[in-house]
Chains A and B, each alone.
Chain A
Amino acid sequence: MPDLPAPVRRTLTFWRRSIQARVVVSTLVLSSVAVSVVGWFLLQQVREGLLEHRVDAVVAESSTEMQDARQRLSAASAVDVDSSGQQRDLVEPIIQRGTSRGFSVVMAGPVEPGRGRIADGGAEFSPGLDTSSVPAVLEEHFATASGPAWTYGEIRRTTADGTVLAEPGVVVGSQVELPADGETYVLYFLFPLDEEQETLGMVARALAAAAGLLLILVAGASWLVARQVVTPIRLARQVAERLAAGQLQERMHVAGEDDLARLAVSFNQMASSLQQQIRQLEELSRVQRRFTSDVSHELRTPLTTVRMASDVLHDARERFDPATGRAAELLQTELDRFEGLLVDLLEISRFDAGAAVLVTDDVNLVDVVHRVVEATRPLARKREIRVEVSAPDHPCLAEADVRRVERIVRNLLTNAIDHAGRSAGSRHADILVAVDSDEHAAAVTVRDYGVGLAPGESAMVFNRFWRADPARDRSSGGTGLGLSISMEDAHLHGGWLQAWGRPGGGAQFRLTLPRRVGGPLHHSPLPLVPGDAGEHAS
């Protein structure tokens, strides 16, 4: 989401990171749903109650009116035969009462099949009333049935000052027979429900206010509750971070006996046991380091004496008889090996004790390779082995300990010289050293065309004292630890040391170092399997 504006990103981050925010928001959402449902239900109940009550009153009133009207009709029955006059006489008092009591009246009729609708005219009604306010369903009802009926509808009327009012209301209809013409007329009473509407609105407002208040309370409560849980967790996180940073004495504060307190207790137990383990390891490492240092000193002093004595004897070997002279020579060469072995063993034990330290600088691997190739030239010449270097024009930089990197390259090269085998003379070189780099890593490969490695051996070559063929002579004088030490050195830099080989096809070793110590390493600038691998496969 890189193209989102900064505030949105910040909000999203906050949302992802804050449990408290999520708890509060989800509690709010859920309680709003609950409150809405309950509110809606309450409103329905109140509305129904109010309407029922009103309808009862309205129906009662209209039936009273009807009775009153019928009485008046029966009193004036046979006297008058003018039906419209009788109709007016009947309706006028009701309209007047309606005006004072707040209801409107429509008298429609007479009811005949296909006629008698209000819209057809001839209806008497309260002044200002829109006669279409009488619902059509009610009219249809009286077209077929005769009993009184009611329904809800919208009452529209024009007030004295000319504005049109529309309000919900109850319309009650009842039939009456005019003695003048014997026809059936329908009287509609239109009672407005504005009072009930007002009451309902008030109830709804009160409910909404209550719901709002309730939600604020719920939000506050959930914020507080979440805080109670989250605060100790945040503290635990801080303590864990400090522990991870090496402050092993850090502990959580334990208060009470609740789940959080038990979390703190367990956390502290974990920290204590970690601290103890780390102390033990540190102690072990310290003892090991001390031992290494002591062994080093104790062994080196007598070895120095022996070495000097051997040198004196070696220099004087011409004067000894042949057997003694040879013995002096053997003593000398074996001392060299012994010394090399001691140095390597001490180095390995330093790695094991975790006492190896990097002294880093920007190192140009091209320079390192040239230096090492130059230094091993006498050895290569003795074996009649040609070493070629292929390096780019630009420097191949890596942050590294130059002493260790030189040692790795030297080990790889002497190892290659040992195993290269003498060439038939046709090939360009017996050993090819390549260097390259990109912005993330620098790499060195050492390719030889010797006996190569059997399948599975490319991982074992880095094992301590491992030998490809136990029966092989050890004339090379390697200690058997060189590649193991190189591997440790490479790991110390956060780099790779890998081997590839094929029986009879030679071998290639590749060292890859990240541009910065411990930096990410995803690929090497040089391939592990050499491009000419196919030529020698068979």
Chain B
Amino acid sequence: MTSYGPAPRATGPYDVVSPGWGTITSMSQNGEQKGRILVIDDDASLAEMLSIVLHQEGFDTDVCGRGDVALGVFRDYRPDLVLLDLMLPGLDGIAVCKQIRAESGVPIVMLTAKGDTVDVVVGLESGADDYVVKPFKPKELVARIRARMRRFEPVGTEALTMGDLVIDVAGHSVTRDGEPISLTPLEFDLLVCLARKPFQVFTREALLEQVWGYRHAADTRLVNVHVQRLRAKVEHDPENPEIVITVRGVGYKAGTQ
């Protein structure tokens, strides 16, 4: 397989990130089932085609064609990843994304027909981890899915601190004064990546490579939006960030205090 992402492993338990989210089923690279993917798309042909391709790649899939029933299907199926079209009957993709995000940190990849800035940013802000623009190549989609389902290797049982945050890498939890903070796996990875090298400034491209697993420069807006989402959760005042600091013209770094 082409090497998207620095962490060459994808086995082992997919841990609970924080209390309140269901346990995500384990994946195995050598077994038949690599993971479960929920396809939420109203275009039956595309959904079926996606299923065919994903089955070929060894994924298990379920399809949902309406936005208003998507959450129910999600709860029943407990997927490892969601492919979400933005234009859906019943309830639009943005709303579905928010619903799922409200109760789970599962990776969400948007399928969007528009490459326009606004749509992408709105989708990412509502909780999606990544997006692919139609028409995409199947290999590109699969690569993105793999990158999203792959996780950082927890090195030892180190406990990192970042400002007044305590990050338990092995336990995938972040606490402030003993109070847990809910982060999606991606947000958690982003935070850990910054916390591990507190004095290094990461460019957006470097973060895309280390956190998202993209070798070639993808859309740096992914980083901007996720940093904003992360700040909204971990900063005391997201307007004056102290945990994730912007280095103008370069990128981001961990707060130094």
Contact = CB atoms under 8 A, between A and B. Distances in A.
Contacts of A302: 43, 45-46
Contacts of B45: 302, 305
A304 B56 contact: no
B134 A303 contact: yes
A379 interface: no
Interface stretch (B26-34, B71-79, B136-144, B159-167): B136-144
Interface string B82-93: 000001000000
A301 interface: yes
Contacts of B52: 308, 312
Interface in B91-147: 111, 113-114, 116-117, 134-139
Give the contact-size bracket for chain A: 10 to 19
A357 B49 contact: no
Contacts of A312: 52-53, 56, 138
Nearest to A342: B135
A103 to B, nearest CB: 104
B76 to A, nearest CB: 26
Contacts of A311: 53, 137-139
Given A293-B114, A301-B113, A307 B53 contact: no
Interface in B42-68: 43, 45-46, 49-50, 52-53, 56
Contacts of B139: 311
Nearest to B118: A357
Nearest to A314: B138
A311 B136 CA distance: 11
A159 interface: no
Contacts of B116: 293
B113 A296 contact: yes
A392 B141 CA distance: 40
A86 B37 CA distance: 156
A343 to B, nearest CB: 9
B1 to A, nearest CB: 15
Given A305-B45, A308-B138, A297 B56 contact: no
B134 A301 contact: yes
A309 interface: yes
Contacts of B114: 293, 296-297
Interface of B: 43, 45-46, 49-50, 52-53, 56, 87, 111, 113-114, 116-117, 134-139
Given A301-B43, A302-B43, 20 more contacts: A296-B113, A297-B87, A297-B113, A301-B134, A302-B45, A304-B49, A304-B111, A305-B43, A305-B45, A305-B46, A305-B49, A307-B135, A308-B46, A308-B49, A308-B50, A309-B49, A311-B53, A311-B138, A311-B139, A312-B53
7 contacts: A296-B113, A297-B113, A302-B43, A302-B46, A304-B135, A305-B46, A312-B52
Nearest 6 Cβ contacts at the A-B interface? A297-B113, A300-B134, A304-B135, A303-B135, A300-B113, A304-B134
Interface of A: 293, 296-297, 300-305, 307-309, 311-312, 339, 357, 359
